[in-house]
Amino acid sequence: MKTGFLERNLNVIFPLPAVLFVVLMMVFPVGYTLFLSFTNWSLTSGMPLAFVGFQSYLRVFQEPRFLDAIGRTFAFTGMAMALETIIGVTVAIVLNREFRGKGLIKLLLLLPLVATPVAVGIVFNLFYDPTIGLANWALVQAGLPKLEWVSNSATVLPSLVLVDTWQWTPMIVLITLAGLASLPADPYESARVDGANAAQILWRITLPMLLPTILTAMILRLIDALKTFDIIFAMTSGGPGYSSETLNILGFRYSFEYFRMGQASVILVSLFIIVLASSLGIMKARARVEG
């Protein structure tokens, strides 16, 4: 029996739109960035782009600002992930029972997640303002010394981490709550029969069983935190000086403020590799936990 062209090639045709989308929207930009990273394209020189091999890589890798930015990217990500995971899991465990107003609290938790990062940045900038901001007013009321928050190179990174934590902890809470809901009841029952107390149940049963969920949430946050751009750009654009300049911010400045497209691509390729490697690391850890 003769079948039509469509029927014979369904296995190719159905995924085709998705494949085309991925190629156009993901493979091409990444590939083009990779290509540019081997050129010396710079708009300020007024010269056409030329292929220069690894020259742009060498130049960027010797740049102290680049190395500082890598350190800062990891510092920001590490602090943010630690805070968000600890607070997020704690809040989820506290919320994991029936009480009046639980729905409302869950709804309130969602609000930071849906807020626009640039708007969040502007509001927090007002909040952090050393002279007229609410944060210092609160410190003074509590009898504590004033801080310069994002205006001081010593405090800028932790201050930004706090904003990130405010915005993204709820995501960890929601994922962990979902994980808690799916835990089997049997281990708890037998533990109670054996006379385990609440702390033992938490440490010996809940957390170990929850670990894969927590690691999944951490992977999602890790990828996002390494690439954070909007909050930092809206609040400090990398300052004071370069003290909150992460890789993504540095990449932006190299491309759209210095117009050194070739070297900016090197920075972005580096960030891409870092994000990929870090995610693979945690995924491996997760596989080990589950395995």
Partner 1 sequence: MKKLILAALVALLAFGAVAQAKEIRVLLANHPYGDLLKAAIPQFEQQTGIKVNVEQYQEGQLSTKLATEFATGSSTVDVFMTRPLQDGKMFYKNGWYKALTNYDFSDFPKNALQPVTFGTKIYTVPILTEWEVLYYRVDLLKAAGIAVPKTLAELETAAAKLNKDGIAGIASRGKGNPGVTQFASYLYNYGGTFLDKGKAVFNSKDAIEAFRYYGKLLGNYGPAGVTAMSWDNIMPLFQAGKIAMWTDAGTFYGQIIDPSKSQVPKEDVGIANFPAGPKASSPYIVVSWGVAISNKTKHLDAAQQFLDWATSSDMQKKGLAQLAIAVARNSPWQDKATLAQVPQGLIDTRNVAAKTGIPYDRPYMSAVGEARDYVGEVIVEAINTKGSSSNLQKLADQKVSQVNDLLMDTGEYGVP
| Binding stretches for partner 1 (CB under 8 A) | 42-46, 129-132, 146, 148-153, 236, 239-241, 253, 256-261
Please list the alpha-helical segments (H only) found in 142-290.
156-181, 186-193, 198-200, 207-226, 230-235, 247-256, 261-290
Beta carbon nearer to partner 1, 150 or 268: 150
How crowded is residue 272: how many other Cβ atoms within 10 Å of its Cβ? 15
| 34 Cβ neighbours under 8 A, 6+ residues apart | 265, 269
Q: Distance (Å, rounded) from C-alpha 42 to C-alpha 47?
A: 7
Beta carbon nearer to partner 1, 45 or 116: 45
Beta carbon nearer to partner 1, 35 or 258: 258
Q: Distance (Å, rounded) from C-alpha 134 to C-alpha 237?
A: 22
Q: Distance (Å, rounded) from C-alpha 265 to C-alpha 36?
A: 6
Beta carbon nearer to partner 1, 101 or 241: 241
CB of 224 to partner 1, least distance (A): 24
Please list the alpha-helical segments (H only) found in 115-206.
117-128, 134-141, 156-181, 186-193, 198-200
Beta carbon nearer to partner 1, 89 or 264: 264
Q: Distance (Å, rounded) from C-alpha 252 to C-alpha 236?
A: 14
Beta carbon nearer to partner 1, 171 or 235: 235
The DSSP code for 92 is: H
98-125 exposure pattern, b = at least 16 Cβ within 10 A, e = fewer? eeeeeeeeeeebeebeeeebeebbeebb
Three-state DSSP class for residue 51: strand
CB of 191 to partner 1, least distance (A): 53
CB of 66 to partner 1, least distance (A): 14
Beta carbon nearer to partner 1, 8 or 146: 146
Query: Do residues 108 and 189 touch, judged by C-beta distance below 8 A?
Result: no
CB of 162 to partner 1, least distance (A): 16
